[in-house]
């Protein structure tokens, strides 16, 4: 529509388009776009009579009798986004091998949703152990919230205000870079704290009053306060799992060296509860600015790694005071309103680095991003991902009554695809999730990719199997290491894994000789030993006979109270009551 409006203007036009030599399929398609030429392939049964219906005039027909499909346009079908990036890495290595003068900065890789592919890019391109396979890269267009764990941790603190203070959400704060360092905690310290939480049955809620504010019964069991009281009382006096003091059962499993850890952990919890309690009252924007800066200073350790992230966050927070000053509004605002403003700002702003650097550029599909690169790659060209649909609001009058020149997300994406196609100088690479990861059924690509495949089929006579490379589910499939095929790989690890399936190895058993006869006390077994054996025979053998203990990391994800006991829990509880009566 926009170009239709421009073309209707009465003015002089100066065309500066340059037609490139048609030396491969990509350049020929680009020439067809420039000259508005509809290319048709001359099949063997084509009648060269222009008056015959259903056939084309000889001037619009091209013939490639023995031509092979070249690699200037590559289309790859994979099973998942992770496989797309793995295949991309191998193909980029092949492109570098084919063109020694090509540099990483000459390549751009675009995706409709760069946030979806960013973790896979980091996992594949950063995980190469062979220096010859390392490709320098940068990822652009990521929002601050996704790119910075520190900023995500800051927002997680604010989000606690509207939560139930479940154990998972509170302990997740300690996984944020800078927070555990601020309180002097290590990974092993956090594991000990998680064990305390599990064994003192902390589930959710600060205390009984907190639960009353939520309109629930005000009992303190399974709250943070109840668990903390058990921990502190257990340090002060032994309870032997049966002696209570003022209605509190001491927790006896705190050893001497763990007292320092307990102090640091309780300091962290106290600061969290105090901070969230201070967010109750509405404030003016400038006061919120000062409060948020105070939270940064209280919870995050400042070092060289986090300095840039904190500076960016401070600049975003400065927006609050500037907004109050420019608008003249000095009324109190709730936390939810300010938090929504900050989240929108952090989603739209990025660090401003990563685009057109010394390495391969990964970025989002935005206008003018595909300025001429020697190699242009598009990943994530899935049927349901591109072109992207714009969600219109029910009160959007412009969407109900569109006019020429109005923006259309779908039309913009179509133009972005065309822009990427004509910007590729040497190669145009496309990948999409085209095979089901469950049953290997084929999935159609984006409609724009299908239209490109149809045009190549009609204009050059190639079939879809010639144009599209269908990849295997696993990167170590033997098909990647067979000579003469379309599939290939540069990974030594995957080659070794592929070869291992053909090697017969004599697996050394865990127990290579007969165990010694058990001691006399093994002849007298009680019901508890029999239950432990039949519950997990392997665990019983390893622990009781071999003395091998495999401790699992404790899981504190269960935030629900125990409303009923299972049969095994009830049996264990009954036995403890009988023994301690």
How far is it, in rounded angstroms, from Cα 189 to Cα 257? 11
User: By CB neighbour count within 10 A (0-12 exposed, 13-18 middle, 19+ buried), where does 414 fall?
Assistant: middle
Residue owning tokens 């529509």: 1
Q: CA-based Rg of the chain, rounded to a whole angstrom?
A: 33
DSSP 235-281: HHS--TTT--BTTB-------GGGHHHHHHHHHHHHHHHHHHHTTSS
CB-side neighbour CA atoms (13 Å) of 308: 9
How far is it, in rounded angstroms, from Cα 167 to Cα 543? 31
Q: Where are the domains of the chain?
A: 73-140+352-389+409-473, 146-345, 520-579
- Residue pair 440/388 in contact (Cβ under 8 Å)? The answer is no
DSSP H stretches of helix in 349-402: 397-400
How far is it, in rounded angstroms, from Cα 11 to Cα 5? 12
DSSP β-ladder status, 373-378 and 424-433: parallel
pLDDT in tens, the chain (581 residues): 566 666 677 777 777 777 777 678 888 888 888 888 888 776 544 444 444 333 333 344 555 544 567 888 999 999 999 999 999 999 999 999 999 999 999 999 999 988 889 899 999 998 888 888 899 998 887 767 677 778 888 889 999 998 889 898 899 999 888 898 999 998 888 988 998 898 888 888 888 888 888 888 888 888 999 999 988 888 877 767 667 777 788 888 777 778 899 999 999 999 999 999 999 889 999 999 999 999 999 999 887 777 888 888 888 888 888 888 888 888 899 999 999 888 888 776 665 555 667 789 898 888 766 678 899 999 999 998 888 877 777 788 877 887 777 777 888 888 899 999 988 989 999 999 999 998 989 999 999 999 999 999 888 888 888 889 999 999 999 899 988 788 999 988 888 888 877 766 666 777 777 888 877 777 777 887 888 888 888 888 888 778 787 765 545 456 677 666 677 777 877 887 787 76
Cis peptide before 387 (omega within 30 of 0): yes
Token pair of 139 as six digits: 């990822």
How far is it, in rounded angstroms, from Cα 494 to Cα 499? 9
- Residue pair 1/404 in contact (Cβ under 8 Å)? The answer is yes
- Residue pair 389/409 in contact (Cβ under 8 Å)? The answer is yes
Reduced to 3 states (helix: H, G, I; strand: E, B; else coil), residue 356 is coil
Residue-level pLDDT at 65: 43
CATH class of the domain at 73-140+352-389+409-473: alpha beta
Q: Where are the beta strands (DSSP E) in 65-113?
A: 73-78, 107-111
Residue-level pLDDT at 56: 37
How far is it, in rounded angstroms, from Cα 61 to Cα 55? 10
- Residue pair 48/445 in contact (Cβ under 8 Å)? The answer is no
3-state SS, 497-526, equals: HHHHCCCCCCCCCCCCCCCCCCCHHHHCCC
How far is it, in rounded angstroms, from Cα 341 to Cα 79? 38
Residue-level pLDDT at 46: 45
The dihedrals phi and psi of 271, each to the nearest 5 degrees, come to: -70, -35
DSSP 180-202: HHHTT--HHHHHHHHHHHHHTT-
- Residue pair 126/136 in contact (Cβ under 8 Å)? The answer is no
C-alpha distance across the termini of the chain, in Å: 86
How far is it, in rounded angstroms, from Cα 463 to Cα 497? 33
Sign of the Cα torsion 47, 48, 54, 59 reads positive
CA distances from 570 to 234, 260, 273, 459 (A): 25, 35, 35, 75
CATH number of 146-345: 1.10.486.10
How far is it, in rounded angstroms, from Cα 432 to Cα 483? 25
Neighbouring residues of 389: CB distance < 8 A, sequence distance ≥ 6: 409, 410
Which of 169, 167, 248 has its CA nearest to residue 201?
Answer: 167
């Amino acid at each position: 529509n926009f170009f239709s409006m421009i073309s209707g203007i009465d003015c002089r036009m100066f065309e500066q388009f340059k037609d490139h030599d048609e030396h491969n399929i990509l350049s020929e398609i680009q020439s067809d776009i420039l000259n508005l030429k509809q290319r048709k392939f001359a099949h063997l049964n084509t009648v060269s009579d222009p008056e015959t219906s259903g056939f084309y005039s000889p001037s619009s027909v091209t013939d490639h009798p023995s031509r092979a499909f070249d690699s200037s346009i590559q289309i790859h079908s994979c099973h998942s986004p992770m496989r797309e990036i793995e295949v991309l890495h191998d193909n980029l290595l092949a492109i570098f091998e084919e063109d020694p003068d090509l540099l990483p900065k000459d390549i751009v890789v675009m995706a409709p949703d760069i946030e979806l592919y960013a973790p896979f890019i980091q996992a594949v391109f950063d995980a190469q152990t062979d220096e010859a396979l390392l490709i320098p890269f940068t990822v652009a267009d990521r929002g601050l919230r996704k790119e910075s764990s520190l900023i995500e941790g800051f927002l997680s603190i604010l989000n606690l205000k509207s939560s139930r203070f479940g154990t998972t959400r509170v302990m997740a704060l300690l996984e944020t870079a800078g927070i555990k360092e601020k309180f002097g905690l290590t990974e092993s310290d956090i594991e000990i704290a998680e064990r305390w939480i599990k064994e003192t049955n902390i589930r959710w809620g600060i205390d009984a009053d907190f639960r009353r504010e939520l309109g629930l019964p005000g009992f303190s069991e399974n709250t943070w306060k109840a668990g903390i009281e058990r921990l502190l009382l257990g340090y002060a006096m032994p309870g032997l799992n049966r002696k209570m003091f003022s209605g509190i059962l001491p927790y006896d499993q705190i050893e001497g060296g763990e007292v320092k850890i307990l102090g640091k952990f309780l300091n962290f919890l106290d600061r969290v509860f105090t901070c969230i309690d201070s967010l109750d009252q509405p404030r003016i924007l400038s006061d919120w600015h000062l409060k948020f800066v105070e939270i940064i200073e209280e919870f995050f350790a400042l070092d060289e790694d986090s300095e840039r992230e904190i500076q960016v966050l401070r600049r975003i927070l400065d927006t609050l005071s500037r907004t109050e000053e420019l608008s003249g509004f000095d009324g109190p605002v709730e936390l939810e309103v300010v938090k929504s403003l900050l989240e929108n700002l952090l989603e739209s702003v990025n660090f401003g680095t990563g685009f057109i650097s010394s390495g391969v550029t990964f970025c989002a599909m935005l206008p003018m991003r595909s300025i001429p690169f020697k190699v242009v790659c598009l990943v994530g060209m899935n049927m349901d991902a591109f072109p992207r649909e714009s969600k219109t609001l029910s009160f959007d009058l412009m969407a109900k009554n569109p006019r020429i020149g109005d923006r259309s997300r779908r039309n913009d994406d179509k133009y972005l695809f065309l822009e990427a196609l004509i910007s590729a100088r040497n190669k145009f690479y496309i990948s999409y999730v085209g095979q089901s990861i469950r049953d290997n059924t084929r999935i159609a690509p984006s409609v724009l990719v299908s239209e490109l495949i149809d045009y190549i089929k009609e204009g050059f006579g190639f079939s879809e199997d010639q144009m599209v490379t269908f990849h295997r589910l696993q990167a170590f499939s033997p098909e990647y290491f067979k000579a003469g095929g379309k599939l290939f790989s540069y990974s030594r690890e995957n080659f070794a894994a592929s070869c291992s399936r053909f090697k017969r190895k004599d697996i050394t058993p865990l127990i290579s000789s007969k165990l010694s006869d058990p001691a006399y006390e093994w002849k007298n077994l009680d019901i508890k030993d029999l239950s432990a054996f039949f519950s997990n025979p392997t665990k019983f053998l390893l622990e009781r006979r071999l003395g091998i203990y495999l401790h699992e990391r404790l899981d504190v994800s269960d935030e629900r109270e125990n409303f009923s006991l299972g049969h095994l829990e009830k049996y264990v509880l009954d036995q403890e009551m009988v023994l301690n009566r």
